[in-house]
Structure 1
């Protein structure tokens, strides 16, 4: 059996990303180089590691075994790099952080920018995912730290409070609902919405809540950001659901009204989560300290 750390890291990243192309990109390798490495690993082991499909790749039974051990080895190397960073130049650690839409756009930019400026030897692999997929990623070892909504079941993981993050309904000022002070999400579903991008974690979450209410969101148009939603709602394009933090941060003309959503799931809190905070690699522990003190 012949494989090196680059092979193991590549294989783990391919499974996290779901395609060889995306996994190669995350490891800064060309597709041709990544494919050659996977073929060489399969030839060395004498068994397929990946099953190729139209939508990407998945691990075979042998691939799952390799990934399980590979994650442990990669994590141990990250511990080693952190412990030796004070003695050798050129080492650079990477923290894998998964978060939802609100954390990514409202709470993390300044915190992470300040952290990176004061820790030049640390990089951050930041990815947006719905909270349920974040939990899965943390449990499978695909990330060091996650930021999730408290609406999901995080049993088996350790959590710490991060931010209060209530959601609010925004509506044009002349809309019939503008006289209300509070409303349930189900009572809004007869109206048309300005939604977020399809791959947005919050967009997926709201679609799920509509389905739980036995209806579907009627999306007229999708915006790429909370600011885009607010601008379109102010012009009368439809209703929107955004974090209260986005409304408070808004600096433009306020041509919209906002209502509190009465649903318990809308009064959410964001939590930091990990398998074991005390066992995080040193780089990740340093970031965790910054996130909990911000």
Structure 2
């Protein structure tokens, strides 16, 4: 079946004008040409659109059904050119983001809200992943922009500075460590931990740091989100490590306290990740520029 938009437009004109002759005059065509188009349309659709007699033509029930469909198709086609112009100017399109949970819970909600207020026609698609998967997704063009922990991932990607991220120790308010202003990991390892999901950057940091001081990391429970981690800490099932701003979301509702981790690895650099500057679409470039503009300037 081959549907010709010109034939659909002529069909709509015939239905509106009630006769082929009037539709032909409106479209500046010969009536025979319009009649031939209607016959070809009927043949393509394998249905009779008009009953013909010496009194003229009468639309069938199928013609009225086609009229609504044809108008929808033609309206969509009329909008293609203007929409493509909007894509070219960077005000319409879609951009795929993959980000780690630290960025999603601390920085992205407000920054994406401002971006989408500026560009309401841009469709932003966000997915949470761990940093190694983020790097691979961007390298393989499964995502346009990534936000991950700074590091070396062995992928063909570029990293751009984003926010600084401080990890803290979340403990119940009645915990022995709750009275301390700061704590070394070696002291915290005497207690059970609520860990993040396997493969997460925070779990890897804790495992490496515990190994460096020669002490075991006792992961009593592993969860997949910071809110679940805070709920487990609140319930007294262990202590946990998470970003300070993520923990602050629960200070008013849960009986937990954030204690500073006196460790150099507790201060992390988050990075924006792209394949290359040339690989970004217009809306991808707008988003990257917006996110970089939201990044605080590092103090000397």
Fold match (TM-score > 0.5): yes
Q: Which residue of 2 aligns with 1:208?
A: 204
Q: How many pairs does the alignment contain? A: 208
1:198-223, CA deviations, whole angstroms, 9 ceiling, x for partnerless residues? 37xxx722332343334764344455
Q: What aligned pairs does 1:55-134 form with structure 2 within 5 A after superposition? A: 84-86=84-86, 93-134=93-134
Instruction: Report the alpha carbon displacement of residue 105 of structure 1 after superposing the two structures with TM.
Output: 1.7
Q: Which residue of 1 aligns with 2:289?
A: 289
Q: What aligned pairs does 1:142-157 form with structure 2 within 5 A after superposition? A: 142-153=142-153, 157=157
Q: Which residue of 2 aligns with 1:237?
A: 237
TM-score calculated relative to the size of structure 2: 0.59
Contact 2:92 2:283 in 1 (8 A): no
Q: Which residue of 1 aligns with 2:267?
A: 267
TM-score calculated relative to the size of structure 1: 0.60
| Residues 87 and 249 of structure 1, relative CA distance in 2, 3 Å threshold | closer
| Residues 205 and 254 of structure 1, relative CA distance in 2, 3 Å threshold | same
Distance 2:231 2:110 in 1: 23
After superposing the two structures, state which structure 1 stretch, 135-144 or 224-233, moved more: 224-233
Distance 1:152 1:190 in 2: 32
Instruction: Report the alpha carbon displacement of residue 116 of structure 1 after superposing the two structures with TM.
Output: 2.5
Instruction: Report the alpha carbon displacement of residue 127 of structure 1 after superposing the two structures with TM.
Output: 1.5
Contact 1:131 1:152 in 2 (8 A): no
Q: Over aligned residues, Cα RMSD in angstroms?
A: 3.2
Instruction: Report the alpha carbon displacement of residue 157 of structure 1 after superposing the two structures with TM.
Output: 3.3
Q: Which residue of 1 aligns with 2:276?
A: 276
Instruction: Report the alpha carbon displacement of residue 242 of structure 1 after superposing the two structures with TM.
Output: 1.3
Gaps of 5+ in 1: 1-80
Q: Which residue of 1 aligns with 2:193?
A: 193
Instruction: Report the alpha carbon displacement of residue 187 of structure 1 after superposing the two structures with TM.
Output: 4.1
